[in-house]
Amino acid sequence: MKKILIANKFYYNRGGDCIYSINLEKILKEAGYDVAFFSMNCPKNFENEWGKYWVSKFSAKKFMRPFGDRETKVKFTKLLNDFKPDIVHLNNIHTQISPIIAELAYGRGVKVVWTLHDHKLICPSYLCLNGKGEICEKCFDEKKNYCTINRCIKNKWLYSFVAQKEAEKWNRERLEKYTDVFICPSNFLKQKMIQSMFSENKLKVLHNFVDIFEPCKSGFNNYYLYVGRLSKEKGVSTLCSVASKLPYKLKIIGSGAMEKELREKYKNFEQIKFLGRKNHNEVLEIMKNAKFTICPSEWYENNPLVVMESLSLNVPVLGANIGGIPELIEQGVTGELFESRNEQDLKNKIEYMINNEYKFDKSPIVCKFEKKKHLENLVKIYEGISG
């Protein structure tokens, strides 16, 4: 039986990478695989039998962690010794854990698969945005100093400098040496990896999966819905600006750095309702009855879970024409696309989708995003590197 060791820096439903990693653990176990998990200790983590091996919570005092500190080396080595995995499946591991674990697995002859949830391997800030919030690809080559020059991390020099040095240590040549396959959840990310000179023969495209294909409940459909982080790169500020000028009701689920600012700015606009954080089941109930969901991203979104969940519930999506989003939406059938950051185009498309019906057969969507199909394709990747 194959023994799979999954690694991700958080072990609770913090974001798409965490949800994917935790669900991956579940479906592998259901399929009969022996699975262990490596993560960072955090108060919000779920219980896990392998928690005793996990590294302590990251802090400023642990500034060497991104480069591979002693604690990470010792604890991961202990887990390798005790579990003896056939494959290490990495997910989001930078900073709080670090790619040192790929090097340690490689040194033991263990095969390494790495699912990429963002652009961190080619952009030190992972967002492909500079300090001004503009799309930037200047670090796609071997030079990473533009991260510091443009203050790409929180517009702060020190944070940006540390990210630059981290990227220089874990460079393309080194990461390719330690990793057998990089899984790109979108064709867009694969092309950006190739643009950044990663070997195409090590890149596989495999969309993430969702586990909700129940019939959509009938509802009033008198609102459209945003679900996600309340931050600039997600486009939620642009969305609120447009929504405030329209008579249609917008519900917003999520929290983040811009939550306080947005709530204050739009507190007198009855058509915009902030619902805060909701658990997954609550999100799905609200999503089922939405007229459509909206993904207004202003960065290179990879493979947004909210789009797949919405479509799996027969709820159409209005998405920004950026990153991997267009791969998920069939215009005029399952939703529409608009030009990212273009308020007039966004306004026009919201009005269009409010006034039109989208009734589509979700069978192709189920086939593309269901967990069974995902597992089949993933196992082929495992087998392909195991000889």
In a domain, 298, yes or no: yes
pTM for this prediction:
0.94
Q: What is the reported pLDDT for 213?
A: 57
Closest CA to 237 of 259, 269, 268, 270: 259
Q: Cα separation of 356 and 150, whole Å?
A: 43
In a domain, 120, yes or no: no
In a domain, 59, yes or no: yes
Is 311:328 a contact under the CB 8 Å cutoff? yes
In a domain, 215, yes or no: no
Q: Do residue 259 and residue 349 come from a single domain?
A: yes
Q: Do residue 241 and residue 336 come from a single domain?
A: yes
Q: Cα separation of 209 and 219, whole Å?
A: 26
In a domain, 192, yes or no: yes
Q: Do residue 11 and residue 144 come from a single domain?
A: no
Q: Cα separation of 196 and 145, whole Å?
A: 15
Taking only the tens of pLDDT, the chain with its 387 residues reads 599 999 999 999 888 899 999 999 999 999 999 999 999 999 999 999 999 999 999 988 888 999 999 999 999 999 999 999 999 999 999 999 999 999 999 999 999 999 999 999 999 999 999 988 999 999 998 789 999 999 999 889 999 999 999 999 999 999 999 999 999 999 999 999 999 999 999 999 999 998 765 655 556 689 999 999 999 999 999 999 999 999 999 999 999 999 999 999 999 999 999 999 998 889 999 999 999 999 999 999 999 999 999 999 999 999 999 999 999 999 999 999 999 999 999 999 999 999 999 988 877 777 788 899 999 999 999 999 986
Q: Do residue 329 and residue 361 come from a single domain?
A: yes
Residue with tokens 């779920």: 46
Which CATH number goes with the domain that contains 84? 3.40.50.2000
Residue 232 exposed, middle or buried by CB count within 10 Å (0-12, 13-18, 19+): middle
Q: Cα separation of 183 and 166, whole Å?
A: 21
Q: Do residue 196 and residue 296 come from a single domain?
A: no
In a domain, 218, yes or no: no
In a domain, 324, yes or no: yes
Q: Do residue 95 and residue 183 come from a single domain?
A: yes
Q: Do residue 203 and residue 62 come from a single domain?
A: yes
Strands 111-115 and 203-205 turn out to be unpaired
Q: Do residue 106 and residue 134 come from a single domain?
A: no
Both structure tokens of 314: 């027969």
Identify the DSSP state of 287: H
Q: Do residue 350 and residue 234 come from a single domain?
A: yes
Q: What is the reported pLDDT for 361?
A: 84
The domain containing residue 268 runs over which residues?
223-367
Task: Work out the number of other CB atoms within 10 angstroms of the CB of residue 316.
Answer: 25
Q: Do residue 149 and residue 273 come from a single domain?
A: no
Spell 271-302 as b/e; 16+ CB within 10 A means b: ebebbeebeeeebbebbbbbbbbbbbbbbbbb
The number of folded domains in the chain is: 3
Bridge partners of 183, per DSSP, are: 115, 204
280 SS3 class: helix
Q: What is the reported pLDDT for 85?
A: 98
Q: Do residue 316 and residue 297 come from a single domain?
A: yes
Q: Do residue 238 and residue 331 come from a single domain?
A: yes
Bridge partners of 38, per DSSP, are: 7
